[in-house]
Structure 1
Amino acid sequence: MRGSSLRFRLAALGALAVILSLTAAGYVLVHLFSIHVERQALAEMEFQLEQVIAAIQEQEDGFHFAAQPLNDPRFARPYGGRYWQVDANNQTLRSRSLWDYELPRTDLQPGSIQTTNLPGPDGEQLLALRRHVQFPSGAKAVVSTAMNATELSQARREFSQDLYPYIILLGAFLIVGQLFQLTYGLRPLRRIGSHIAALRSGDEKRMGDDWPQEMKPLAREIDGLLEAREAAIEKARFRAADLAHGLKTPLQALMGEASRLRQRGEDDPANAIEGVTEAMQAHVERELARARAALSPGHARAEIADVVDRVLGVLKRTPRGKEIDWHLDVPDHLSAALDPADLAEAVGALAENAMRHAVSAVTIRAGDADEFVELHIIDDGEGPANKDLVDLAQRGMRLDQSSNGTGFGLSIAKDIAEAAGGWLTMSPRDPGVCFTLSLPTKLI
């Protein structure tokens, strides 16, 4: 599932963080812009307020203006969006822009200034600045300037419309940059996966030190495990060799005792001892073969053509092997992921079985099959019946009870193939039988 991908989770969390951060940043920027615009508007209205106050003259019949207080045409145009008003006792002076509308009055403390929101002449909301003024004669007035608050909202909206496309573009750049960062940052993880696969396939023997600083401890631990495994395998191989050597001497002694009994004319006891000894030897060889196959080093690789040539070189020197017409078709480039000694033992068991049952010829050929290599060994003998094929690889099973074999060769070949991750199959031919040894080209 994509949710289980480290790259996907980091990319999703990073993209979410970028989106949330830029959204919050955009909101804060718009808010700061609104505060700035309102501050500028209040500064402008304060300046206008000072101009209105400076233009007021107190006379006997009330307040008048010595000149037009403000030259901005918006104060002269009805509902122009800029307004001023002077409230003194029962007298009210106001800008032409208010037309027949009068701003609501309010009481202020002497010398105080107030920022407030008021309803406007056209139903709009106004931002107003008011100041309490006391003249030298003692007369008091409240002077107000106001502006349409919609202008501030419009400025904020236009700023948002200009800002958010750049916010979105910045977010896209940040997300793409984060994806590039993830790709570069996680590259060693992909590399370590492929390197471990190479260790499994035998193409590499150690992780090495060419890793980022944070991954070197992991690489060293893996190399330590590999070294410990190889040391354990080597120790087990020595123990298997010691076992074989330890059993060889007593078995040879038993065979010598059987020979002495035969020389004295005691054939029955001699035959019994030889039969038991041969069975014990077969059991020991089989178990040692299984042990060697199970303990094959992780980088083992066998060249098929070389192993087959060595096996046939031995068999052709036997009396029976000299009588057989050997047909060989094994390409040089084929290899299998197992120890050459194990492959030689499996091929030797199958080739010896084919030689023993062949009439005149044995064919050995090999080829690729996906990630496996198939080695076919075919004899032209009489061959078993279909119902007997299943029994051939069972322990000690021989269809030809008159031969001298112990019946463990096919079972050993089967065990070696399965330990390497392959299998042994048998199929009847006309004439003869075909044994197919399927072995992986990469380590399991």
Structure 2
Amino acid sequence: MTTRSWVPVPEHSDFPVQNLPYGIFSRAGEPGEPPRAGVAIGAYVLDLAGLGEAGGLPYAADFAAPTLNPFMARGRDAWREVRARLTELLTDEAHRAAVEPHLVPRDTVTLHLPFEVADYVDFYASEHHASNLGRVFRPNQPPLMPNWKHLPVGYHGRAGTVVVSGTPVVRPCGQRKAPDAEAPGFGPSVRLDIEAEVGFVVGTPSELGRPVATADFADHVFGVVLVNDWSARDIQAWEYVPLGPFLGKSFATSVSPWVVPLDALAEARVAPPAQDPEPLPYLREDAPWGLDLAMEVECNGTVLSRPPFRTMYWTAAQMLAHMTVNGASLRTGDFYASGTVSGPAADERGSFLELGWNGTEPVKLADGSTRAYLADGDTVTLRATAPGADGVRIGFGEVSGTVVPAREAAGSAGQAEQQQ
């Protein structure tokens, strides 16, 4: 029997009662109202701070905070306790009179960054993405570097530029060097790209010096978000040798405003692709944490690709284990992303670099225009769904961003090249 809520949930809604993702909201048009926690249900947000103790909600004071961090820090037992209570409140008609006054129409709220980011790490976990980049940049060499199938490759990003969906993305400036140029120049990026990713939000911290095992993944990770890791490919290409991504990545990383609880994704768990060679013991999983997420990449209303997350070579649990194997500790609000999600087919690629094969095969939009990389004014939106309990599909909402012109170096030679 399918669990149903007394709250009306439109067909194909991202937010059935089997989901109940957490976010931080305030009422639009009410200046000064403090941001606070809510969960999405159908076309509504349930105001958890307003419901509070009157609804018998455990840890009610946590939900008046402007971030989810206080609640996330409580750990898995608390997360499950609150989820069970919310499910009861939203499915048992006996609670309707007490709960209904705290339902706020979702189209009347402003959504905020749902958690305070402590640290940010970005991985490179898709074999198809890594192989595509190898073929583009090293056509006469093996597509994967020698270490790639032995460890989840990653880099430490910039926590302060993680932004919520809807935040404009300013075209970054930086050094760029054309292959035939003797020296680098400076100006706005002319190869601004996206990376369609999935992110994992840490709730429970860990002790410095003590690695986190793959089996303990669900004890530490609170939930999952969608991520667009905007990338300036020309800046990145010049700077990344020998230490890797820096300014080409650190200007903006967009996340979706709803954090889908890990427990909502129990039905989405799948085995990852076969890993050969067998990973070292600390990376092995008895019950793998591959996830069957169906993603969608849209630019200016045109769906360009549908990357399948289930094809990711390294799982989120393996990423977490590798991130801490040297003794690095976790903090509440730590956030790590999967790296670009790409599948084996041409219409399953999660970046313009791959979709347009580094500018040699520009993609066509519905209005007839083409893109090798992003132009000012372009809006990119990522969505995803997953199988949920009772045979329903649950959604992640969306993460969207619009490119706005660079704020520096106006009038430079690079500025004129933006639309090329």
Give the shorter-chain TM-score range. Answer: under 0.3
Higher relative contact order structure (alpha carbons within 8 Å, sequence separation ≥ 6)? 2
More strand as a share of residues: 2
TM-score, length of structure 2 as denominator length: 0.21
More helix as a share of residues: 1
TM-score, length of structure 1 as denominator length: 0.20
